[in-house]
């Protein structure tokens, strides 16, 4: 859920910008070290891929449709720091091109949908893979769980930010956001798993890339 | 294929288009900040901000209808986030309703906060539309780089912008193929639809990844060393200084006015 401008108070804007700047700065440092600047074109195309994949919507019950957010997919395929960079680019572009998510709220949105979503999904996926063993079935379970948790956690973080800004009380907005996104997360999880299954069937070597 | 929804009108020519991207980015951000700091209920200040942003949008020669449509498309999502506010603010009660098990109470201060937030969001969106429909994204990125945005991020965004159109084309072709095979019909099961979209995104990922590898190989064959050189230089002119200073002064003045009254 993209937070628009007008919702967050100045303290929250400043705090989330500081945290996101630190996280993205670290991602930039790590990418510079591990990639050199040579693989920047590849990562840029990957950011365009996430952007384009978000345009593929699928019908959900009741005439509504949903689409992928992609943080979990990017972090499982390419690694959490790469995913932070990619999601940062996607979120900046969404804010500038589609006015989806505000400019002052950008720090909060990068924190929720970039940093929190990437790391939570990546480590949940890794945890499940290492606990249950590395095979196709567990990979699908891991990616489902990772994407679901990422969706719920980033919505919960958004709820906390809204509550801290005094928009609505925490005991109402947190269960509401977490509840709705627990449902949305099922779609995100199923699609993420289906994508990984398709990649595994066609180019399994791409899943063995060294995560960044 | 058609993807004119991506930075349409930014290629036009007007006084606003000719301003330096840094001037426009800085002042657009200042406008959003000024709007965000406006205390709830200062309707006159909101009116002034609307006049200001209209005065900026008109000389940009962007169709009004497009701006309205563009700014209202996002508002349902904004409203969804804000819709609960009137029910949970304390204060003088405007109305009380019994809905099934809940006793819902709407307060005047709650309604005021709701309208306040919706107005702030809308004005901020208008300011962003002014920025992006008068500035080409590559220029804006170049401006952001001069304003100390990390180079890697700027380069990532430039590549993303360059390949976005190709990949969106790809997605639209895939969508057309899918829809012509009666996707989403009533008889289709949910699992089948999920698998279809999964396969499509998986295919898109592999194609994008391979394209990225080819792009990188082609670039390094031509001597790419991590720097992008451009003949398109930004220039900060007198008109930028005058516009930037004038606009900022007006915003600061209205900001102080909104705090006092």
Residue ranges covered by each domain of chain A = 10-208
Give me the residue from A5, A25, A28 closest to B124, CB to CB. A5
State how many domains chain B has. 2
What's the mean per-residue pLDDT of chain B? 82
Mark yes or no for CB contact B209/A37 under 8 Å: no
| Per-residue confidence (pLDDT) for residue A107, from 0 to 100 | 92
Chain A partners of B57 at a C-beta cutoff of 8 Å? Answer: none
Q: Does A182 touch chain B (CB under 8 A)?
A: no
The nearest alpha carbon in chain A to B29 belongs to A103
Q: Do A45 and B174 touch (CB under 8 A)?
A: no
**Tell me, what's the pLDDT at B73?**
82
Report the half-sphere exposure of A155 (CA within 13 A, side-chain side): 22
Within-domain flag for B49: yes
Say whether both B21 and B70 belong to one domain: yes
**Does residue A62 surpass a pLDDT of 60?**
no
CB contact under 8 A, A99 and B71: yes
Instruction: Report the alpha-carbon distance of residue B173 to residue B191 in Å, rounded.
Output: 23
Mean local confidence (pLDDT), B114-124 = 88
Decide if B142 is inside a domain.
no
Q: How far apart are CA B60 and CA B133, in angstroms?
A: 8
Closest residue to A191, CB basis, from B129, B197, B205: B197
**DSSP collapsed to 3 states, chain A:** CCCCCCCCCHHHHHHHHHHHHHHHHHHHHHHHHHHCCCCHHHHHHHHHHHHHHCCCCEECHHHCEECCCCHHHHHHHHCHHHHHHHHHHHHHHHHHHHCCCCCCCHHHHHHHHHHHHHHHHHHHHHHHHHHHCCCHHHHHHHHHHHHHHHHHHHHHHHHHHHHHCCCCCHHHHHHHHHHHHHHHHHHHHHHHHHHHHHHHHHCHHHHHCCCC
pLDDT at B5: 62
Q: Say which range, A7-16, A70-79, A139-148, B94-103, has the weakest mean pLDDT.
A: B94-103
Residues B102 and B225 in one domain: no
Round the CA-based radius of gyration of chain B to a whole number and report it.
24
Cβ contacts of B129 on chain A, cutoff 8 Å:
99
> Do B27 and B109 belong together in one domain?
yes
Residues B16 and B111 in one domain: yes
Contact B151/B30 with Cβ under 8 angstroms? Answer: no
- Write out the two tokens for B242: 């005058």
Residue from A11, A56, A86 whose CB has the most chain B CBs within 10 Å, to mutate: A56
Closest Cα in chain A, distance from residue B28 (Å): 10
Percent of chain A past pLDDT 70, that is, above it, reads 93
Higher-pLDDT residue of B108 and B117 is B117
Q: Are A51 and A93 in contact (CB under 8 A)?
A: yes
Q: Which residues of A49-84 are buried (b: 16+ CB within 10 A; e: fewer)?
A: bbbbbbbbebbeeeeeebbbbbbbbbbbbbbbbbbb
CA distance B236 to chain A (A): 22
Q: Measure CB to CB from residue A44 to each of B123, B132, B163 and give the nearest one.
A: B163
A112 pLDDT band, cuts 50/70/90, is very high
Mean pLDDT of A169-176: 83
Determine, for residues A37 and B156 on separate chains, whether the beta-carbon distance falls below 8 Å.
no
Q: How far apart are CA A69 and CA A56, in angstroms?
A: 11
- Do B125 and B195 belong together in one domain? no
Residue B103's pLDDT band (boundaries 50, 70, 90)?
low
CA-based nearest distance B33→chain A, Å: 8
In a shared domain, residues B121 and B154: no
Distance CA A192, CA A206 (A): 15
Cα of B196 to nearest chain A Cα, Å: 8
The DSSP string of chain B is ---TTSSTTTT--SHHHHS-HHHHHHHHHHHHHHHHHSPTT-HHHHHHHHHHHHHHHGGGT--HHHHHHHHHHSHHHHHHHHTTHHHH--SSEEEEEEETTEEEEEEHHHHHHHHHHHHHHHHHHHHHHHHHHHS-HHHHHHHHHHTT--HHHHHHHHHHHHHHHHHHHHHHHHHHHHHTTTTT-TTS-HHHHHHHHHHHHHHHHHHHHHHHHHHHHHHHHTT--S----S------HHHHHHHHHHHHHHHHHHHHHHH-
Query: Which of A105-114, B162-171, B224-233 bottoms out in mean pLDDT, i.e. has the lowest?
Result: B224-233
pLDDT above 70 for A200: yes
Alpha-carbon distance of A136 to A148, in angstroms, equals: 18
Measure the CA–CA gap between B11 and B59, rounded to whole angstroms.
15
> Which residues of chain A lie closer than 8 angstroms to B176, CB-CB?
none
| Domain match, B206 and B256 both | no
pLDDT at A94: 86
pLDDT for the residue B37:
86
Task: Evaluate if residue B2 carries a pLDDT over 60.
Answer: no
**How far does B213 lie from chain A, in Å, by closest CA?**
6
Looking at chain B, which residue has its C-alpha nearest residue A162? B81
Model confidence at A42: pLDDT above 60: yes
Domain spanning A10-208, CATH architecture: Orthogonal Bundle (1.10)
With a cut of 90, say whether residue A87 has pLDDT above it. yes
Which residues in chain A have their CB less than 8 angstroms from residue B202's CB?
194-199, 201-202
A137 Cβ contact list (under 8 Å, min separation 6): none
Judge if B193 and B117 occupy the same domain: no
Most confident segment among A146-155, B80-89, B174-183: A146-155
Tell me what the mean pLDDT of segment A33-58 comes to. 79
pLDDT over threshold 60, residue B258: yes
Identify the pLDDT of residue A38: 58
Average pLDDT, chain A: 86
Establish if B13 belongs to a structural domain. Answer: yes
Same domain, B72 and B155: no
- Any idea which of A19-33, A194-208, B118-132, B201-215 has the lowest mean pLDDT? A194-208
pLDDT at residue A184, as a whole number? 85
Which residue segment(s) compose the domain that B159 sits in?
149-230
**pLDDT-derived band of residue B104, with 50, 70 and 90 as boundaries?**
low
Q: Do B88 and B9 sit in the same domain of this protein?
A: yes
ipTM of the complex as predicted: 0.85
pLDDT at residue A22 is higher than 90: yes
How far from A79 is each of A72, B231, B257, CA to CA, in Å? 10, 35, 49
Do residues B127 and B102 both lie within one domain? Answer: yes
In a domain, B22, yes or no: yes
Contact residues on chain A for B82, CB-CB shorter than 8 A: 7, 167
Confidence of residue A54 (pLDDT cuts 50, 70, 90): confident
pLDDT of A120 above 70: yes
Nearest CA distance, A112 vs chain B (angstrom)? 16
């Amino acid at each position: 859920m993209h937070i628009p401008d007008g919702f967050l108070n100045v303290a929250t804007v400043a705090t989330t910008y500081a945290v996101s700047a630190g996280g993205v700065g670290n991602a930039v440092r790590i990418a510079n070290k591990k990639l050199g600047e040579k693989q920047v074109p590849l990562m840029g195309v990957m950011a365009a891929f996430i952007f384009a994949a978000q345009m593929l919507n699928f019908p959900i019950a009741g005439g509504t449709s949903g689409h992928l957010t992609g943080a979990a997919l990017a972090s499982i395929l390419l690694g959490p720091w790469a995913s932070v960079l990619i999601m940062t680019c996607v979120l900046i572009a969404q804010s500038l091109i589609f006015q989806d998510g505000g400019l002052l709220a950008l720090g909060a949105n990068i924190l929720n949908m970039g940093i929190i979503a990437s790391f939570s999904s990546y480590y949940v996926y890794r945890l499940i893979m290492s606990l249950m063993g590395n095979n196709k079935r567990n990979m699908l379970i891991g990616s489902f769980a990772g994407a679901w948790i990422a969706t719920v956690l980033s919505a919960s973080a958004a709820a906390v930010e809204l509550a801290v800004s005094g928009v609505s009380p925490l005991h109402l907005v947190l269960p509401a956001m977490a509840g709705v996104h627990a449902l949305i997360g099922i779609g995100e999880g199923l699609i993420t798993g289906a994508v990984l299954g398709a990649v595994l069937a066609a180019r399994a070597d791409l899943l063995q890339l060294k995560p960044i | 294929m058609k993807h004119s929804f991506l930075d349409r009108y930014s290629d036009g020519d007007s006084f606003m288009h000719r301003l330096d991207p840094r001037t426009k980015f800085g002042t657009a951000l200042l406008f959003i900040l000024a709007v965000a700091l406006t205390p709830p209920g200062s309707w006159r200040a909101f009116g002034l901000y609307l006049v200001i942003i209209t005065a900026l949008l008109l000389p940009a020669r962007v169709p009004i209808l497009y701006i309205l449509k563009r700014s209202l498309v996002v508002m349902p999502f904004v409203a969804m986030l804000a819709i609960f506010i009137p029910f949970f603010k304390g204060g003088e009660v405007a109305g009380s309703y019994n809905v099934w098990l809940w006793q819902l109470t709407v307060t005047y201060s709650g309604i005021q906060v709701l309208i306040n937030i919706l107005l702030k969001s809308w004005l901020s969106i208008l300011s962003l539309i002014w920025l992006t429909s008068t500035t080409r994204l590559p220029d804006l990125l170049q401006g952001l780089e001069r304003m100390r945005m990390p180079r890697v991020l700027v380069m990532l965004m430039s590549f993303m912008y360059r390949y976005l159109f190709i990949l969106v084309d790809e997605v639209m072709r895939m969508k057309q193929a899918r829809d012509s095979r009666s996707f989403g019909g009533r008889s289709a099961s949910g699992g089948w639809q999920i698998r279809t979209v999964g396969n499509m995104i998986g295919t898109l990922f592999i194609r994008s990844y391979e394209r990225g590898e080819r792009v990188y190989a082609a670039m390094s064959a031509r001597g790419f060393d991590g720097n992008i050189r451009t003949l398109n230089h930004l220039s900060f002119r007198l008109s930028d200084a005058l516009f930037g200073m004038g606009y900022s002064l007006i915003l600061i003045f209205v900001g102080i006015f909104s705090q006092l009254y």
